[in-house]
Structure 1
Amino acid sequence: MYKYQEQKWIMFVLLFKFVQISKANCKIQIEKVYKSAFCWHQGLVSVPQDLPVDINRLDLRWNNLTTIQNYAFARYTVLEHLYICDNQLRSLMIYSFCGVQNLQLLALSGNKLDVSVYPYGVFRPIENLEYLDASRNMKNGKTDEVVYSLAFNHLVHLRELHVDLVSKPNLSKSFMGMNSLQKLWFDYCYIYYISNKTFTSLPKNITELRMQNCKSFFTIESDALRHFSSLNALDFSGSHIHLHQALRSLYPLQNYRMKEINFHHITYASITRYDYDVILSKEMMKYIATICIQTLDISYNNIVAIKEMSLIMFRHPECFINVILSANRFGIEQMEIEFLYFFY
């Protein structure tokens, strides 16, 4: 009898140590009433179920999750921020996020989630979400048309979205229900042609559009941005678009008030459709000259000359806070007085 009780006690101690070690692998951090669980580099293949039920933030970055099972987070009912970045996620289930209706931020970047395979209704339980990052998942650009089936129409409170842009995107009408969306970032970017119809399904309330490092990009039709009636920030930095074409794309934005236009390093020698040596003229600058801009970046675009004082013909120079012209090749010797007057 005594030997049995001793063995039972030893098993209890071992089990207690195991549970303690299991919990200790995730660092619990408390700041005032906000409780976070950091479960980095744990080799996890499923969502841990032994964490405090009152955590507000769960960070599962750098693990081995391949799918999120139904009701995987249901015990963490006060969860607000959830990070599942840089795992091996390939699929979600329709009830993956049931039980966490208070979730405000969801980060799924750096996985293998195809934008065309999200189950319909997967975001319905978290319709209060304000920030979604589903970028850096489409590591290889598809050549066929891809229908975006992320069922965004349930995310009526979403304010910021990060997602990949395939070479031939079909941005389905599910986007149109996101009446609160303000910031749209396209991360892994394989698109090579943007027509006047590409963005027609996107909500008109978007204020920031960022398409950085689109290396396959070479054509944008002049009226492609006409659907963004509230736009105040446009970022094409690093994309293969050429300054000549980027300036032409501003045609629908004439007389707008913009916080930022970022055309940093969008002119490449490989774009043979336009001359690599950029010569600014009044014709090229006629649309941007009408815009009230706080920050303008046209650096690193191989601008070699400026004709007809085209760089200082802006109608609203008083709007400028930052103007970045570095890493170009033009000189201002012949228009030094005009430049001083303009910036004064």
Structure 2
Amino acid sequence: MERIVLYLVFFSIIYCYEFVHASDCDIKIVFKDNEDVKIADCKNKGLTFIPQDLPGDIKVLDMSSNRLRMIVNNSFVNYKYLQELFLRQNQLHYLFKKSFQGLHKLAILDMSENILNLSEVYSAELFHPIKNLTKLDIRSNMPQPIEVDTDYNYPDHAFGILTELSFLGIDMMPLPYFGSGFGQMTTITQLQFESCYLVRLSNKTFQGFSSSVEQLTLRNCRLHFVVTEDNALLPFPKLHVIDFSGTFMHLKHALQLLHPYRNTKMTTINFGHVSDVSIDRADIPYVLTITVDIMKNLKTICVENLDLSENGIVDYEPGSLFSFNHPKCLRHISFKRNRFMLFSDKNLNEIQIFFSKTVKLKSIDYSYNAVNYVMKNSVTSNSDLNCSLHSCVILPKSLEKIYLSYTIANTFPIIYLIVPKNNSLIYVDVSYSNSNIAILILQIRVETFISNGGDYSFAWNQLKRSSYNTLKTIVWKNADKMMQ
């Protein structure tokens, strides 16, 4: 109690100074959602208290990147029309019970990147004045814990009143327990975790949440290898976005988590860099060959955006990586930073069939791969082009972007990637690549061509055939040949 009194005395002195200098905030009016919105921009002003002389009808107050350490009672009572409040990147470590008194219209509250301890700050009364919040972001507040083997109880007594919330950004502790209060957030659709120290994703981890969640983000959990249970995502039957990028649980285990979503539609599955060289055991080796069993869940899902980048993939069995039940759903696919041959004699016909069915595929990212491959058999395509001497793959007409930068891919014999007529290809990046895979563009519509550190001759031989110029951007830096 004495500590709080001392804080109040100290900050009362500073408050008087800042009251005079609060006019340093920039007041502006913008047209938003068919109305004029008055904004008080107080970012990066060195403030340690909430200014009290701002216009009473402001609807947005941005106090980001200041030196706030606490929010005292009734700090915002002069701003009853406030709808959005940004307090990110301060030094907040204490909130009084009536810190948000009077903000009955507040919809968005961002207190990310502070030092607000989940166990100490959030009282049962704190959110009562702002119970109509639709977005709450308190990510990047918790420090790395010392103990990782004990349950961590989240203050559901405080959060349970936020029944209108649609977005919650919060930190993830090693062994989290989310009480029944979180289940009262029946309108929540986006759940994002940051400062992630998770060590176990069990079948009980998310049981306390409402089934309304549609987007789940759990990035960069790297404190320990995350042990998973196959039905951990079962409480979220409506998920259509899963982003576990950078969370070390191994690709094999991540793909097993998709079991509840077999034969469903999903917008995004991002399992980029869920395997890491630090995870290398006999049962889950980092050097991974994709098998039919590993793909058994993913292949049934109608997914639009798929990221399997940086996972130690070195090979794939026939009938696995490119055997989707719904290839027409795919729009974007990324395999960057792996080490497998995208086109090989044993899979060339299979991938050609795959491409022929991906009628909506917009982009392929195969950058940062390095392989050498000797083809045992010459494979021909069924196109009307002469591929009798080489292996050919016809790319989808829908393809708009190809990323092949930093790729070493030498094959014998040469593989030709054919971009057919009436294509949609507008972006090609082959920077710093060393490959004898040839790209043959039958009708050039490319708008951006990037070939840093490459051979000018490939680009020039392609583009000089064009009867009309569609190019808007060409980047040829550090090339090792001049145009002939």
Q: Does the 8 Å contact 2:318/2:350 carry over to 1?
A: no
Q: Does the 8 Å contact 2:75/2:99 carry over to 1?
A: yes
Counterpart in the other structure of 2:401 = none
Task: Output the CA distance in 2 between the equivalents of 1:23 and 1:116.
Answer: 33
Counterpart in the other structure of 2:112 = 109
Q: Does the 8 Å contact 2:142/2:171 carry over to 1?
A: yes
The partner residue of 1:128 within 110, 127, 132 is: 132
What per-residue deviation string (whole Å, max 9, x for no partner) do you get for residues 128-164 of structure 1? 2111100000022252422111522111111111000
For residue 29 of structure 2, what is the amino acid of its counterpart?
I
Task: Output the CA distance in 1 between the equivalents of 2:188 and 2:218.
Answer: 16
The partner residue of 1:263 within 237, 249, 271 is: 271
The partner residue of 1:141 within 127, 138, 145 is: 145
Counterpart in the other structure of 1:238 = 246
With over 3 angstroms needed to count, the CA separation of the structure-2 counterparts of 1:245 and 1:52, relative to structure 1, is same
For residue 51 of structure 2, what is the amino acid of its counterpart?
P
Counterpart in the other structure of 1:6 = none
Task: Output the CA distance in 2 between the equivalents of 1:247 and 1:31.
Answer: 45
Counterpart in the other structure of 1:318 = 328
Task: Output the CA distance in 2 between the equivalents of 1:82 and 1:155.
Answer: 16
What pairs with 1:178-197 in structure 2 (closer than 5 Å)?
A: 178-197=185-204
Task: Output the CA distance in 2 between the equivalents of 1:134 and 1:125.
Answer: 18
What pairs with 1:325-340 in structure 2 (closer than 5 Å)?
A: 325-331=335-341, 332-334=343-345, 335-340=347-352
The partner residue of 1:292 within 294, 299, 302 is: 302
Q: Does the 8 Å contact 2:300/2:326 carry over to 1?
A: yes
The partner residue of 2:226 within 218, 226, 244 is: 218
Tell me the SS of whatever aligns to 2:56: coil
Q: 37-46 or 281-290, which moves further after superposition? A: 37-46
Q: Deviation at 1:107?
A: 0.2
With the length of structure 1 as denominator, give the TM-score of the two structures: 0.91
Q: Deviation at 1:20?
A: 9.9
Q: Does the 8 Å contact 2:18/2:49 carry over to 1?
A: no
For residue 304 of structure 2, what is the amino acid of its counterpart?
Q
Pairing 1:254–2:257 present: no
Q: Does the 8 Å contact 2:23/2:53 carry over to 1?
A: no
Q: Percent identity?
A: 36
Give the number of the structure whose residues are more often helix, by fraction. 1
Counterpart in the other structure of 1:25 = 24
Runs of 4+ residues over 3 Å off in structure 1: 18-21
Task: Output the CA distance in 2 between the equivalents of 1:63 and 1:323.
Answer: 41
The partner residue of 1:228 within 236, 257, 260 is: 236
With over 3 angstroms needed to count, the CA separation of the structure-2 counterparts of 1:66 and 1:305, relative to structure 1, is same
Q: Does the 8 Å contact 2:185/2:210 carry over to 1?
A: yes
Task: Output the CA distance in 1 between the equivalents of 2:289 and 2:185.
Answer: 41
Q: Does the 8 Å contact 1:225/1:253 carry over to 2?
A: no
For residue 246 of structure 2, what is the amino acid of its counterpart?
G
Q: Does the 8 Å contact 2:18/2:51 carry over to 1?
A: no
Task: Output the CA distance in 1 between the equivalents of 2:19 and 2:217.
Answer: 45
In structure 2, stretches of 5+ residues that fail to align are 1-16, 357-484
Q: Does the 8 Å contact 1:70/1:97 carry over to 2?
A: yes
Task: Output the CA distance in 1 between the equivalents of 2:160 and 2:75.
Answer: 23
Task: Output the CA distance in 2 between the equivalents of 1:179 and 1:19.
Answer: 41
Tell me the SS of whatever aligns to 1:187: strand
Root mean square deviation of aligned Cα: 1.6
Structure having the higher Rg = 2
For residue 220 of structure 2, what is the amino acid of its counterpart?
N
Higher relative contact order (CA 8 A, sep 6+): 1
Q: Deviation at 1:179?
A: 0.6
Task: Output the CA distance in 1 between the equivalents of 2:85 and 2:108.
Answer: 6
Q: Does the 8 Å contact 1:135/1:188 carry over to 2?
A: yes
Q: Does the 8 Å contact 1:142/1:167 carry over to 2?
A: no
